[in-house]
Amino acid sequence: MAKKPKKQQQSGGTPATVALTAAGVDFTVHAYDHDPSHPSYGEEAAEAMGVSPERVFKTLVADVDGSLVVGVVPVAGSLDLKALAAAVGGKRATMADPILAERTTGYVRGGISPLGQRRKLPTVLDDSAGTHPTICVSAGRRGLEVELAPEDLAKLTDAVLAPIGRG
């Protein structure tokens, strides 16, 4: 799947796909049947799309010194909270309350996208994203992913690139 994704025009769509279309960014939408019993949303997405888990990124919301921050890391690993805090000049990070994360982003857990959030949060993208021509992130609901160039994701979210993932 190293080929350049094609621009996908959508009428309506999710806030994430609407934001991508408005920005004129090339992206591909991948839909799959979400299984509520699957233990990992991200791993389920990778399996369903037949994509390496290193190319599928999960969006996690953390509290860094009292402010919400988004960490985007490969589903094959986990978020290094200490590294996330350091990437935004903070001291301490904990995972955000899921209800607060949902309310702030406008998305449900397992479908939080780094794009098109209700309130745009500071975002840190794991620097491993740059090793892939394209990566996949949630399109804003469970069972829907968008594939795009990592530099486009970083630009649209004003993301800082930093080593925040742990393998």
Average of per-residue pLDDT values in the chain: 91
Is pLDDT at 1 greater than 70 in this prediction?
no
- Distance (Å, whole) CA 21 – CA 124: 22
> Region 62-67: what's the mean pLDDT?
98
Residues 6+ apart with CB under 8 A from 67: 90, 122
> Region 131-145: what's the mean pLDDT?
96
What is residue 38's predicted lDDT score, i.e. its pLDDT?
85
Task: Output the pTM of the full model.
Answer: 0.90
What is residue 2's predicted lDDT score, i.e. its pLDDT?
42
Confidence of residue 39 (pLDDT cuts 50, 70, 90): confident
- Distance (Å, whole) CA 30 – CA 101: 24
Residue with more model confidence, 13 or 60: 60
pLDDT tens string 3-33: 444 444 444 589 999 999 999 999 999 999 8
pLDDT tens string 43-59: 889 899 999 999 999 99
Residues 6+ apart with CB under 8 A from 91: 65, 85
The residue type found at 150 is: P
Residues 6+ apart with CB under 8 A from 99: none
What is residue 3's predicted lDDT score, i.e. its pLDDT?
41
What is residue 12's predicted lDDT score, i.e. its pLDDT?
54
% of the chain with per-residue pLDDT over 90: 81
What is residue 7's predicted lDDT score, i.e. its pLDDT?
41
Q: Which two tokens stand for residue 89?
A: 């000049």
